[in-house]
Amino acid sequence: MTHCHSETVRIPEEGEGRPIVLVGPPNVGKSALFFRLTGRYATISNYPGTTVDLLMGRLPEGGSLLDTPGTRSLFPLSAEEQVTRSVLLTARPQAVIQVADARHLRQALLLTLQLAELEVPMILDLNLMDEAQAEGVEIDLEGLAARLGIPVVATVAVSGQGLDRLQALIPEARVPRVRPTYDPPLEEALQRLEAQLPPEPGRRYWAIGLLLSDPVILQQIPDEALRREAAALRQALEEHYGRPLLYIFVRQQHRWAEELLKDLVRWAPRTVGLWARVRGWLDVLTLHPIVGWLFIALVLWATYQIVGVFGAQVLVDFLEETIFGAWVIPWLTALAERWIPWTLVRDFLLGPYGQISMALTYGLAIVLPIVSTFFLVFSLMEDSGYLPRLAAMLNRPFKALGLNGRAVLPLVLGLGCVTMATMTTRVLHTRKERVLVTLLLALAVPCSAQLGVIFGMIAMAGPAALGIWLGVVAAVLGLVGYLAARVVPGESSDFILELPPLRIPRLDNLFLKTLARLEWYLKEVVPLFMLSTAILFLLDRLRVLGWIQAGMSPLVTEWLGLPPETAGMFLLGFLRRDYGAAGLFDLARQGLLTGHQILVSLVVITLFIPCIATVMMMIREHGWRTAAAIAAFVFPFAFFVGGLIHRWLLWTGWG
């Protein structure tokens, strides 16, 4: 039915011929399989018209492998599922490898059925076979392959088991020969619609899409009379069954899957080992309404120690002060003074707002070690199976903010780098959720580089300052999130999350994932740092920065009660958030700020727009109108709250 499409999908060019496409739900080891098959030859490409990424890599024997976002159905609900379906409809894949969880074969066969109705050549890969066998699941692979009419292989992607067999079977991918027969009323309606569609592969899938009033399918069918007939048939069938038609289809497909698996799957008794018992206890405790929160506190503490202390302090100090500060920058400065006669060029490269002295130092010496350690922790939580449990625990409190537990991913990532976290809002299913999380990130989530400086300043102001600062930031986060959820148009998505088993992560898989995400960071974020620094250089040369600082002085001294020097620190905080905090720290260390002023300045710098790189990322992800609206709210709001805190502290006599 590709002739009906009004636009062409551009798939990243990674070799000749049509791609081989990986398809499957989340948490089945699809990404691990991709990295095992492609190794380092991977690129990330944004799908046209969306903010969902596709992963493209080269296979060792030639050809390209495309990893699609997780999907459970080809009649999609989320943005990820819509992208996967669009790739299958438009890319004309050479073969589809459906990656399934061997422990949940019946659910996997629902997607197999839809691929069969779409008539794409495919292989069924039963991954996580080691965990299935540990639970006593035994599958007759040859019998299943015979009934489906396609190659079926068992793999353990994280260890590489079965991957040679999978690669050898790719040329043997075939269209499944099974076609379920639905109840007579459904079959009659489908046959009526199929008879009016062009005689091309996939007519049954397109007929079901018409009957379900799938908006993308309807858009691609030019025959208005056929669309009206499909709508009438749907209404008649829903009146006949008394249920939504999608529910009827899914129920009958489940029945078909059970019948197909008869005598092919059995459960053999297994002796429960020590790890299985420990995993069972942890499963209960991590989701316990009380103990689960203790686990969250422990995980966040460990994350801060690894990212905030080791990454943001130990590694950053070594790279910034020793590598760049003592070696790289002095050596390049001497080289530039000797070989570059133009002062403007030298300043552009190595001046206060230089591409090397500021942009690359920031991107490689300050942020890189922070995001590296965070990506490592993030991969550890992901591969261990704890991340979905964290999302499940936070789902209820997030509902008050118009979000669900899935929002924990970018919000936690924001403690590492807000710019990166803004990019990861694309994992959320609706535009409303993405905008809400971007707003909260921009407003009240300090990055770990800034957190280290903040905690150093708070130590000067006393322990009471920490409680006040945390209380103000938490109150702002809750209040703004609650009100914004009722102002920002759109709908929130349902929170449906499959909890994978807790696992012991493999070091090689953690290493591969971390490297892939670092490649993403270096390609996507570092160029933004360089562009932002170039803008700063231009503004400085035009003396606009000095005018802005002078214009901010009355607001800073009269409304916030801070010394005039802090105006420059706030301006620098917009350009580079941690530099602004570091400037305030230096003023406090010189004795120019009282405890009262330290607290006010920290509240403002925390609620401030994170940095110009984050603004650029907001424009990239959400468009300039949304980015401008968020900035227009956050800037004055940060100073408004700071002024209120200043007057409240004067009234209480604190500091």
d(CA 229, CA 215): 15
Rg (the chain; Cα; Å): 28
Of the chain, the percentage scoring pLDDT greater than 70 comes to: 89
* pLDDT at res. 273: 66
**Per-residue pLDDT tens over the stretch 547-580:** 877 788 788 888 999 988 787 778 767 766 666 7
Task: Supply the pLDDT for residue 360.
Answer: 84
Q: Are 439 and 409 in contact (CB under 8 A)?
A: no
Question: Which residue bears the tokens 């659910």?
Answer: 107
Segment 134-139 shows an average pLDDT of 87
Q: How do residues 337-346 score in pLDDT, each as one tens digit?
A: 889 999 999 9
What average pLDDT does the segment 77-102 reach? 86
CB atoms within 10 A of CB 393: 20
Within 8 A by CB and 6+ apart from 13, the residues are none
Where helices occur in 351-407 by DSSP H, the ranges are: 368-384, 386-399
Helix (H) or strand (E) holding 100: strand 95-101
Q: What is the pLDDT of residues 201-217, one digit of tens each?
A: 899 999 999 999 988 88
Say what the pLDDT of residue 1 is: 43
pLDDT above 50 (res 12): no
Mean pLDDT computed over 344-369: 85
Give me the chain's average pLDDT, please: 83
Q: Report d(CA 1, CA 542) in Å as an integer.
A: 58
As a whole number of angstroms, the distance between CA 501 and CA 385 comes to 6
Q: Is residue 347 scored above 50 in pLDDT?
A: yes
Instruction: Pick from 150-164, 374-388, 561-575 the range whose average pLDDT is largest.
Output: 150-164
Residue 495's pLDDT is 67
Burial (CB < 10 A; 0-12, 13-18, 19+), residue 455, is: middle
User: Could you report the per-residue pLDDT of 418-437, keeping only the tens digit for each?
Assistant: 877 887 787 777 888 889 99
pLDDT tens, residue by residue, 41-66: 444 444 433 445 677 888 877 788 99
The 3-state DSSP class for residue 66 equals strand
Question: Does residue 153 sit in helix, strand or coil?
Answer: strand
Confidence band of 190 (pLDDT split at 50, 70, 90): very high
Chain centre to alpha carbon of residue 176: 33
Question: Using CA atoms, how far apart are residues 481 and 512, in angstroms rounded to an integer?
Answer: 36
3-class SS at 64? strand
* Structure confidence by residue, pLDDT tens digits, 503-553: 888 887 788 778 877 887 787 767 877 877 788 788 888 888 778 777 887
CB atoms within 10 A of CB 523: 11
pLDDT at 272: 59
Lowest mean pLDDT among 30-44, 78-92, 359-373: 30-44
What is the predicted pLDDT for the residue at 512? 77
pLDDT of residue 507: 84
Q: Find all residues with CB under 8 Å of 396, minimum gap 6, and list them.
A: none
Other C-beta atoms within 10 Å of 94: how many? Answer: 17
Helix count and strand count (H, E) for the chain = 31, 9
Three-state DSSP state, 573: helix
CB neighbourhood size of 107 (10 A): 15
Whether the pLDDT of residue 14 is over 60: the answer is: no
Give strand pairing partners of 21: 66, 96
Torsion of CA 591, 593, 594, 596, to 10 degrees: -160
Angle between helix axes 595-607 and 577-589 (nearest 10 degrees) is 180
Tokens representing 452 are: 């280290």
Place of tokens 């050549």: 121
Q: Which helix (H) or strand (E) holds 181?
A: none
The predicted pLDDT at position 63 comes to: 81
Q: Please give the average per-residue pLDDT across 297-302, as a whole number.
A: 84
CB–CB of 123/99 below 8 Å? no
4 pLDDT higher than 50: no
Q: What angle in degrees, to the nearest 10, is found between the helix axes of 624-652 and 463-487?
A: 140
Over residues 586-615, the mean pLDDT reads 84
